[in-house]
Amino acid sequence: MTRRMLIAGNWKMHGLRSDLGFFDQLEPQAALAAAAGVDVLVCPPATLLAPVAGHCGDSAILIGAQDCHTNSSGAHTGDVSAGMVRDAGAGYVILGHSERRSDHGETSALVCAKAEAAIMAGLIPIICVGETREQREAGEAFGIVGAQLAASLPAAARMAVIAYEPVWAIGTGLTASPSDVAQMHAFIRTRLPRPAGTRILYGGSVKPGNAGELMALDDVDGALVGGASLDIGQFGAIIDAAIHGCAAQ
Ligand code: PGA
The pick from 225, 230, 238 for probing ligand 1's pocket by mutation, whose C-beta has the most ligand atoms within 8 angstroms, reads 225
Distance 7 CA to ligand 1 centre (A): 12
**CATH 3.40.50.970: does it fit domain 24-35+124-248?**
no
Ligand 1 contacts CB of residue 165 (under 6 A): yes
44 lines ligand 1 (CB under 6 A): no
Q: Is the C-beta atom of 8 inside 6 A of ligand 1?
A: no
Among candidate residues 69, 99, 165, 185, the one labeled active-site is: 165
The domain locations on the chain are: 24-35+124-248
What is the rounded distance in angstroms from the CA atom of residue 202 to the CA atom of residue 206?
8
Q: Quick check: CB of 9 below 6 Å from ligand 1?
A: no
Report which ligand 1 atom has the smallest distance to the Cα of 225: 3
- Annotated catalytic residue, options 69, 97, 131, 185: 97
CA atoms within 13 A on the CB side of 117: 23
Ligand 1 atom nearest to CA at 206: 3
Phi, psi angle pair for 201, to nearest 5°: -95, 150
- DSSP line for 35-78: HTTEEEEEE--HHHHHHHHHHHTTSS-EEEES--BSSSSSS-TT
Q: What is the distance in angstroms between the CA of the first residue and the CA of the last residue of the chain?
A: 13
Quick check: is 55 catalytic?
A: no
pTM for the predicted model, two decimal places: 0.97
Q: Tens of pLDDT along the chain (249 residues)?
A: 578 999 999 999 999 999 999 999 999 999 999 999 999 999 999 999 999 999 999 999 999 999 999 999 999 999 999 999 999 999 999 999 999 999 999 999 999 999 999 999 999 999 999 999 999 999 999 999 999 999 999 987 788 999 999 999 999 988 889 999 999 999 999 999 999 999 999 999 999 999 999 999 999 999 999 999 999 999 999 999 999 887 666
Sign of CA dihedral 46, 48, 54, 55: negative
Q: Is 97 a catalytic residue?
A: yes
Element (H, E) at 150: helix 141-152
